[in-house]
Structure 1
Amino acid sequence: MAKVSKGDLDVYITPTTQDEVGGLTDSFNQMVQDLKQSQQAILEAEGKYRRIFENSKDMVYITSLEGKLVDVNQAGLEMLGYENQEELFKIGVRDIYVNSEDREKFMYQIAKQGFAKDFEAKLKRKVGLPIDVLITASVKKGPSGEIIGYEGIIKDISDRKRMEEELYQRTKELGTLYELSVLINQTLHLDKVLPLALERVLSLTGFEMGTIYLISNDREWLELKYHQNYPSHLADVVRRLKWGEGVVGSAAKRKEIVIFPIGEYPSPDILPNLIEENVKTLVGIPLLSKGEAIGAICLTSRFEHFPGQSDVHLFQSLGNQIGMVLENAKLFSSVEKAKSEWETTFDAVADLITIRDKDYRILRANKAAFRRYGLKPEEMIRKACYETLHHRAVPCNGCYVKEALTTEKPVSGQRESEYLDGVFQYYTYPVYDASGKVVGVVDLAREITEEKRLEKEKEVVNNINKILASTLDMRQVTKAIHAEFKKVLSSDRMTITLLDEVGSRFQYFALEKDYEREELTKDRSYPTEGTTLSKVVQTGQPVIAEDLFESEVWLDQRLFQEGIRSYLVFPLEYQSKIIGTVNFGSRDPRHFSERHFDVLRQIVPGMAISIQNALLLDEIRQSEGKYRTVIEGVHDGVAVIGTDFKFNYVNNRLSEILGYTKEELIGMDFRNTLTKESQQLVVDRYTQWVKKEEDTPYYEFDILRKDGKIRNIEIRNKELRDAEGHITFVALMSDITEKKKMEEQLLQAEKLRALGEMASGVAHDFNNALAAILGNTQLLLYSVQEEEMRESLKTIEKVAKDSAQTVKRLQEFTRKRARQELFKLDVNSIIRDVVEITKPKWKDEAQGKGIPIEMALHLGDVPNVAGNASEMREVITNVIFNAIEAMPRGGKIEIRTFKKGDSICIQIADSGVGMDEETRKKIFEPFFTTKPFSNTGLGLSMSYGIIKRFGGEIEVESSVGAGTTFTIIFPITKGGKKEKEADASIKIGKSLRVLVIDDEETVRRVLEKLLSQANHQVTVADDGEKGVQLFQEKEFDIVLTDLGMPGMSGWEVCQRIKEIKQTTPVGMITGWGMELSQDKMKQYGLDFILSKPFDFSQVVKVVSETIRPRS
């Protein structure tokens, strides 16, 4: 037993009895045997552990609680640079940490978690050099579970960190090189390139001082151009160095990087000044261009630097890059001398100007070039023109730049650019250096696309008019006409169809060439139903069929069989009626577009007249006896005039146009019916005819009617010779006065668009005010029970909503709204509403001034029209206000409604002062007013735009002293739906915590009351900062923020709210009336928009619908 207690297990006791003592003896022997086996297993485990411990490539260690190393393997000794364990064990673990803070963080982590994994730190080797390591360790416990020390593994990651650092440094260098390239290539000014280049080089290399030199023209000197951080006295010493002198002289002369410690500096005269400044290292970088030094950079440091091969490579790259830029700057120095004379005009020139070097790289471009090419400076400058502008790998065929560089002479010409989809006139001039060598070109491109198009269209229009004037039967010249059309349409076929009286059937009037299909031949009629022609008849507008491949229309199928893939159908309109169509076919799908409509609008009306004349000629040929009947029936005036200018014959229409009887006109000198200006025009035209000078057969002039009125006339002459050779002229005269008026109306519409550009400036303030009015009115509606008071409040509510719509329409005045939703409107009901709304103006206010105004309604039984109730009220209100202003002494306003054909008319007449013709023409112009200090001149112009959007017309009849009558004409609508009224009931839902942020107190209070009325808990803030602070302090279900606020904007508030709590819905309150970008809403996390002014139902609905999907 004594041996066992001392650890000697080689003991065996022989049992002497079979009793309990013998049993105990056996148990003792078994226990000793088990202990021996356990001890042997422990020894084997310790041996394996020791082998792993010693053979590990990473440092394995054990420390005491006091931080003393107890054990460490051979890898640990080698890692830390110690020869044996005894030497290492003499120092504490704390002493091998570079930063004591790392040790404290490491111990804190182990104390907190019981282990630390991949803890990154810096340790010191014996010689003091730092190494980067990863430490994984845990606590070491004794038999009783108490902590007796720490054990762990340390992995040397110095190589990995060094590679990471090198990779980072290389990436940084490349990035800096690229940044340097971009920055210094944006200018050719030496005074900007030099400081920029030196600053970037110092930043990249770590040197704190530097100079940059350029070689003189005689290559005898290096002249200091710029320095950074050099003391002034030292800069004076090195301001001018001889070729080969100093670091920069050596670098420039040897054309390679030179590195000098201060002890090896090559110029003794300068050395004392450098030593005085405690300079330790200097590096010279030659600036090379085309193999020759043009300057050098000197990097100077008060610290010792030991540049490696990678540093030298970097220096070389910097020198080459800067040298190339400096050379380019010198090449254009002559241009820079003249820059003061043309710099201000360079970017103002509308032509596209670029300067390119011999490698086709764009060195400079004006603003017009950047804008037309749609590229930014960094996308064009220093890029080859054929790659950037034409997307080619090599210069273009017939390139003017290439020709100018090759011939060294100016080149000019025209070229059509596929890239820019236009035609340009090019002028390319070589640029020479001082030695007369071509170093680049200046290229000027003047866009003549529109001029070419208009020139071609004008030529085509003139040619076709000549062709039409050459014959009275245009069927004889169909091919010639189409030959001209091909110049602008590139069409393959042209046909002309004529419609019957009701437009239900058509037949071909003229074919450029016969089709093979019998359904496409002349002298037969076919139904228009289902064909494109029926659409033209219904709409009066041209129609394009883009691809007939999938069309099931019989006519399209026949045309497809003839090889036609797309076509354009243009209406032939005569006397405001569609009489047929001109049709153009192409073998290519999607060949035609709306841009072709312009030229057709100039030609087709003349063709319609010619076709009509041809039809008339047919009738004349069929029956000479019907001659005068036909002539009398044409819409145009017809006259036969002799060479003495006297009328030999006039038809009834011409008699109507001129205001004389036919008897008065026969024998009258044609010139006596003209204004003085037109008389001279006619004489000049006749003189040209006598001299046989080429002239168009038609022109315009003004006639003076018998009643003194002036009308605009278009005349078309045809020379006729009888059997004896006597000459007379057949003249067709068209009254185009109404056409001119339509052109004036078009000009009027253009002027109206200018209004919209000024509208948004006042929208925000108006909408804030309207938000307060509308919100408080609706709150009163929910609390007031008295019916008379409620009716007054409803009127205020309706006016406020109408005012909001007016602000919106002011903003959208320039927009062409092709698809505005229109509703069925009862105009009589709207008129009664307007009369009631305007009653304070025409009755109460007028009576207060002693001006009696009577309002009389004569409302007929009229159908509904299509429109928008708010806008319709605005139109009628504006006309009524205009009538009130026109009756300063009082009078009577009569409003009538009645049906006229397929339209209904609203007629508003006053007994006021009336207006003259000049005023009547201008009343729909924006800002035109006869009372500039009391009116804006916008009401009638806005009304005009609204009426046009509803598909209506407005006519004005007035004369001075006889009052004014406005007649508004709308087409009758059969379909459509009624405008829905907002749900006035309060739907109390889940109570929400709402944060309202708005700098306008009235808006805040209205929203607070509206939302509180809907059972919500509302908190308000008067700016963005306070709102965000409240959101951080309290819990909110939804946030409403104004868009435009001083300080933090609505966008910033939205962004901050989403950063704090992503799931909280945020709505934007805006009084600007603009549509917010969906991309921007997504970027800032904006959930919805609440436009001012808002009504109760809108606010409650938006809030509840936004929260519902998240509940």
Structure 2
Amino acid sequence: MVNAFADPVVVTGEQNELVLANHSAERLFKSGKDDGPGKARAISMNSALFTAGLSTWNLQRASEPTRELTLVDPIEGDELIFEVISTAATNYRVGAKGTVSVLKNVTELRHVTQELSANIQRLESVDQEIRLERDRLDLVLRNVPDPIIVVDNMNEIVSMNAAAERLFKPPRDPLIQSRQAQVATRNDAKFTTFLARLSLDPAPHRSGELRLTDVDTGEDLDMQVTANEVRDPVGARVATVSVMQDVGRLRELERRRLEQALFDSEKLAATGRLAASIAHEINNPLEAIQNALYLLVKRIPEADPNAKFLAIAMKETERMSRILRQMLGFYRPVADLAPTDLNALIDEAESLVAKRLRERNVKVEKQLQPDLPKIMASADQIKQVILNLVLNAAEAMPKGGLITVSTESHRDAASGFIRTEAVRMQVADTGPGIAEEYVPHIFEPFFSTKREKGTGLGLWVSLGIAQSHGGRLQVRNRPGGGTVFSMTLPIGGPPADAA
């Protein structure tokens, strides 16, 4: 009957001697005369291990019914692990007592368990590394000053850094939550609509500009948004990561830089023109002195004791003349001329002052000729003129208003241009206009209608820039109120004799 069991079954006597074994057990514990020495040693070792195990287990029978025993495969020499279930038995016919043991081979199970345990340890180690990496990434993202937002396929926000939370997540304080929650909700709606519009673009990397509102201050924020899709190994989109950059602040910094450059150029131009004006005024009487000295030198003989003093006077007046010529040549506005798109310069200038204009409640309307020809000009200098005219128009409307900037091709026979083809830009405002008695002086240096706020050099320098390009800058009051500044520039640049 015991041979019907696939597992080894062993019956031992009171002294743990082998009494009966089925075929599976005989393979482990019973050697034959034809067995080699290696197999015989393995069987002997198995018998010794099993007997020692039984002796120990008999002392612990009540507490541990199932034990584990490691034996050796007599044929393969591999290690075998068995779970041993031992039960005391009595042969009532002869009154003999012993133990019946069933050995369950769990070698593969133990190996799988050990491998599984090792894999679990490796997974736990990898999971720990992932958590550490995620914490590091989260720390980095939370310290990035630019807002970063992750949305799912439904454009629902699933993650954001601290900078983004300030725009889309209202504070928990109920006293201030109501207003800021409304602002955050509007920002969320704008961002969702913006992403939906961007999703129509098939490119994986998309960008655009979005205007949001600062939750704390209520200030408008012009954000440049770059959205990148995240795809799984099979190419399906699983998320979209959007990074925002406050280009409004960058434009404000650029505007301040240009304003400082404009102010510096105004000071330099004023210094140069003043020096040139003084040199010109001094040069006229100096030439008269030189002529008089020349006549005296011709009339006084070389042997005359006063001749040497005349020579000194002639030498020094010639030196003064050279210095004055250098001063006259000091102020020569020189700029590199290149084909320039006036419409593009107007767009750039508007973007630089857009925030300031919004704060003053000033709107800008552009009426730009689409096919406006390019002009030979210095882009930086012309941009300075545009900025100066637009900012002056805004300052003329302290309660807000409308600035209209227009461009058109122009031909003016009275302009005096060698090349009659020109372009004209006009900057019109809805302010009170300029007092008629001030209009003739508006382009004079140090003349300002802003009293202590203005330097009186902006329009003077702008006029100089227009003239150095062979053009002109004019002003007139509108009949219904407001002022119009017109700058006309030749397409081909200044005439050769004016360069």
On whether the aligned pair clears a TM of 0.5, the verdict is no
Higher RCO by CA contacts (8 Å cutoff, separation 6 or greater): 2
State the TM-score bracket (shorter-chain normalisation). Answer: 0.3 to 0.5
